[in-house]
């Protein structure tokens, strides 16, 4: 067979934001190996090394065909010595010794398990690891004082580590939409993050909220959160941003904080009741059947006695069938809470942006993380511009460049437009 030397001939640009990187690609075996090393570097707080492995993996994801031999990689950018060595090993032996050793090391497994707890970062996990804490059960028994996020992270550990599916994301979106429209009619809600890039699952669901009348969005988040809380949709929330700063420091905030969006890290309580309706997961058509339910002992009616007379509808029920439903019910059945239940915990991120910054926020929050990093690196090094989720600044002309769409931002940056589905670097 002819492996084809075309890869070496085709010139591949070196910034990930210059390339189309689809979700499904031809070099998964190689990129999986590099991702383990990237993850390990990140967990060891070696960011530079992590980025190097991520860049190498992203390059392979953008190639139009499977790499069969190292000679095909000649002339390609982004492949450092270390990454090349790993790629060659995998191509020749099927596995990389370093990747295998890393994957099975106690430290890597423990760090992954501990940072898998919501509210636990690499620093904390490393400290615990060195105290002999290797997993959530060790932590539970250690008697360590945990903050609110970590307590809830531990309580819902299994289900928060269960992927969120597209139908679940859509169901959450419907709830967010009801909440936002209840407190600010005319506001616009956009699904961002991995789901906007076409992923079928995610570790959370991300939404961007704005309103066409600039200024109407101010202070929106606390109202949305109150509505969600009153309806019993939230298990946890932490809101930061303008209102938070205002309440702490008064309205005269320093200019440096002016450009911080209101945002909310939350954990939703999503019903998964099966009452004969169905949602198909997988490739089939997706139909959603909102049903009213008030039979679950965990519903908000316990804690919010007024909810029955409330004019708002009760929490919507998501019905999921198939593989994922089985996985969910297995996890819920084994949860540390009181037996099997008809809802699951889902991580949700909400961001509010002023309308004039919407395109920048959309671009900045769609990801992938590496794609974002590469966009900013391109802007600085190739265009002498500064890109953030709020604005684009041209340092030579000393002015901000306006944009009302992602297309305009790519144009300002002198880049071909890359659609969200091709930003999976
Ligand atoms: P996943 O949830 O499916 O695992 O993947 P994801 O959706 O791509 O990852 P994410 O962790 O939810 O992040 C989504 C995007 O949001 C990503 O491009 C990075 C961006 N993002 C944060 N935090 C912040 C932040 O504080 N500021 C800005 N500007 N962007 C952020 O996650
Ligand atoms: Mn996400
Ligand atoms: Mn997120």
Digit-coded pLDDT (tens) for 281-302: 333 333 333 333 333 333 333 3
CATH number of the domain encompassing residue 35: 1.10.150.110
Summarised one tens digit per residue, pLDDT across range 403-425 is 999 999 999 999 999 999 999 99
Pocket of ligand 1 contains residue 420 by CB under 6 Å: no
Summarised one tens digit per residue, pLDDT across range 332-378 is 876 555 567 899 999 999 999 999 999 999 999 999 999 999 999 99
Residue 37 falls inside a structural domain: yes
Same domain, 121 and 270: no
Name the one residue in this structure whose structure tokens are 């000679």. Answer: 71
Q: Measured between alpha carbons, how far is 131 from 12 in angstroms, rounded to an integer?
A: 46
- Evaluate if residue 103 carries a pLDDT over 60: yes
Among residues of the chain, what percentage have pLDDT more than 90? 76
Residue 359 falls inside a structural domain: no
Instruction: Return the closest-CA partner of residue 238 out of 220, 249, 225.
Output: 225
Q: Which residues line ion ligand 2, judged by CB < 5 Å?
A: 193-194, 202, 204, 206
**Residue 329 has what pLDDT?**
83
Same domain, 215 and 279: yes
Same domain, 266 and 403: no
Closest ligand 1 atom number to CA of residue 263: 26
Q: Measured between alpha carbons, how far is 401 from 412 in angstroms, rounded to an integer?
A: 8
Candidate of 367, 368, 376, 389 to mutate for ligand 1, largest count of ligand atoms within 8 Å of Cβ:
367
Q: Measured between alpha carbons, how far is 211 from 298 in angstroms, rounded to an integer?
A: 34
**Residue 282 has what pLDDT?**
37
CB 127 within 8 A of CB 115: no
Same domain, 53 and 133: no
- Evaluate if residue 70 carries a pLDDT over 60: yes
Residue 250 falls inside a structural domain: yes
- 126, 158, 302, 349: which one is catalytic? 349
Q: Measured between alpha carbons, how far is 360 from 366 in angstroms, rounded to an integer?
A: 10
To the query of whether residue 349 is one of the catalytic residues in this protein, the response is: yes
Q: What is the DSSP string of 117-171?
A: STT--HHHHHHHHHTT--SHHHHHHHT----HHHHHHHHTHHHHTSPEEHHHHHH
Summarised one tens digit per residue, pLDDT across range 180-218 is 999 999 999 999 999 999 999 999 999 999 999 999 999
To the query of whether residue 204 is one of the catalytic residues in this protein, the response is: yes
Q: What are phi and psi of 10, to 5 degrees?
A: -60, 130
**Residue 1 has what pLDDT?**
44
Give the residues across from 414 on adjacent strands.
none
Residue 326 falls inside a structural domain: yes
Residue 12 falls inside a structural domain: yes
Nearest CA to ligand 1 atom 14: 193
Q: Measured between alpha carbons, how far is 244 from 80 in angstroms, rounded to an integer?
A: 44
**Residue 274 has what pLDDT?**
55
- Evaluate if residue 94 carries a pLDDT over 50: yes
Which residues make Cβ contacts (< 8 Å) with residue 416, sequence separation at least 6?
A: 18, 410
CB 328 within 8 A of CB 160: no
Residue 208 in 3-state DSSP?
Answer: strand
Mean pLDDT of all residues in 224-251: 77
Q: Report CA(62)–ligand 2 centroid distance (Å).
A: 21
Same domain, 176 and 311: yes
Q: Which of 18-22, 47-51, 319-323, 383-387 has the lowest mean pLDDT?
A: 319-323
Pocket of ligand 1 contains residue 206 by CB under 6 Å: yes
Name the one residue in this structure whose structure tokens are 């991300």. Answer: 206
368 prior amide bond cis, ω within 30? yes
Nearest CA to ligand 1 atom 10: 193
Predicted TM-score of the model (pTM) = 0.86
pLDDT-derived band at 321, boundaries 50, 70, 90: low
Q: Which of 62-76, 213-227, 249-263 has the lowest mean pLDDT?
A: 249-263
Pocket of ligand 1 contains residue 369 by CB under 6 Å: yes
**Residue 383 has what pLDDT?**
98
Please count the structural domains in the chain.
4
Interface predicted TM-score (ipTM) over 0.95: yes
**Residue 322 has what pLDDT?**
74
**Residue 318 has what pLDDT?**
59
The response to whether 349 counts as a known ligand-binding position is yes
- The rounded mean pLDDT for the chain is 86
Residue 263 falls inside a structural domain: yes
pLDDT-derived band at 253, boundaries 50, 70, 90: very low
Instruction: Return the closest-CA partner of residue 66 out of 31, 26, 37, 105.
Output: 26
Which residues make Cβ contacts (< 8 Å) with residue 346, sequence separation at least 6?
A: 160, 164, 168, 172, 204, 205, 267, 268, 270
Backbone dihedral region of 296: left (phi > 0), alpha (psi from -120 to 50 degrees) or beta? beta
Q: At what angle do helices 28-43 and 122-130 cross, to 10 degrees?
A: 70
Same domain, 111 and 90: no
- 204, 259, 283, 422: which one is catalytic? 204
**Residue 330 has what pLDDT?**
85
pLDDT-derived band at 85, boundaries 50, 70, 90: very high
- 206, 273, 283, 296: which one is catalytic? 206
Same domain, 257 and 202: yes
Query: Residue 63 is inside which H or E element, if any?
Result: none
Pocket of ligand 1 contains residue 263 by CB under 6 Å: no
Q: Report CA(364)–ligand 3 centroid distance (Å).
A: 12
Summarised one tens digit per residue, pLDDT across range 127-170 is 999 999 999 999 999 999 999 999 999 999 999 999 999 999 99
Q: Report CA(204)–ligand 3 centroid distance (Å).
A: 6
**Residue 285 has what pLDDT?**
37
Residue ranges making up the domain that contains 390: 364-422
Closest ligand 1 atom number to CA of residue 361: 29
Q: How far apart, in Å, are the Cα atoms of 419 and each of 68, 78, 197, 361, 410?
A: 28, 22, 8, 15, 10
**Residue 92 has what pLDDT?**
97
Candidate of 206, 260, 346, 352 to mutate for ligand 1, largest count of ligand atoms within 8 Å of Cβ:
206
Same domain, 389 and 319: no
What is the distance of C-alpha 128 from the center of its chain?
25
**Residue 5 has what pLDDT?**
55
To the query of whether residue 302 is one of the catalytic residues in this protein, the response is: no
Pocket of ligand 1 contains residue 153 by CB under 6 Å: no
**Residue 341 has what pLDDT?**
86
Q: Report CA(202)–ligand 3 centroid distance (Å).
A: 9
């Amino acid at each position: 067979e002819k492996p084809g030397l075309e890869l070496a001939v085709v010139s591949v640009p070196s910034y990930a934001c210059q390339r189309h990187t689809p979700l499904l690609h031809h070099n998964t075996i190689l990129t999986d190996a590099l991702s383990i090393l990237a993850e390990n570097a990140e967990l060891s707080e070696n960011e530079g090394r992590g980025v190097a492995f991520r860049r190498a993996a992203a390059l392979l994801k953008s190639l139009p065909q499977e790499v069969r031999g190292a000679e095909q990689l000649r002339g390609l950018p982004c492949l450092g010595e270390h990454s090349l060595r790993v790629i060659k090993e995998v191509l020749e032996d099927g596995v990389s010794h370093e990747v295998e050793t890393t994957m099975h090391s106690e430290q890597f497994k423990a760090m992954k398990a501990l940072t898998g707890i919501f509210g636990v970062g690499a620093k904390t996990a490393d400290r615990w690891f060195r105290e002999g804490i290797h997993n959530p059960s060790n932590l539970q028994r250690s008697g360590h004082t945990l903050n609110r996020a970590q307590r809830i992270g531990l309580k819902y550990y299994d289900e928060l580590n269960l992927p969120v599916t597209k139908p679940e994301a859509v169901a959450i979106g419907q709830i967010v939409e009801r909440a936002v429209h209840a407190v600010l009619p005319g506001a616009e809600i956009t699904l961002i993050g991995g789901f906007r890039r076409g992923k079928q699952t995610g570790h959370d669901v991300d939404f961007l909220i704005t309103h066409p009348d600039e200024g109407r969005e101010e202070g929106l988040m606390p109202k949305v959160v109150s509505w969600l809380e009153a309806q019993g949709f939230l298990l946890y929330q932490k809101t930061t941003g303008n209102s938070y700063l205002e309440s702490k420091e008064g309205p005269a905030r320093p200019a440096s904080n002016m450009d911080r969006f209101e945002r909310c890290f939350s954990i939703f309580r999503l019903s998964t009741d099966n009452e004969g309706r169905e949602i198909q997961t997988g490739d089939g058509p997706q139909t959603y059947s909102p049903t009213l339910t008030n039979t679950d002992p965990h519903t908000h009616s316990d804690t919010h006695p007024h909810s029955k007379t409330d004019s708002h509808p009760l929490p919507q029920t998501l019905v999921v069938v198939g593989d994922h439903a089985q996985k969910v019910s297995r996890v819920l059945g084994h949860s540390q809470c009181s037996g099997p239940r008809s809802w699951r915990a889902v991580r949700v991120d909400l961001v509010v942006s002023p309308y004039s910054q919407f395109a920048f926020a959309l671009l900045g929050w769609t990801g992938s993380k590496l794609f974002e990093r590469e966009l900013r690196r391109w802007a600085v090094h190739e265009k002498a511009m500064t890109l953030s989720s709020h604005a684009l600044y041209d340092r030579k002309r000393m002015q901000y460049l306006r944009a009302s769409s992602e297309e305009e931002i790519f144009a300002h940056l002198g880049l071909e437009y890359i659609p969200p589905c091709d930003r999976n670097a």
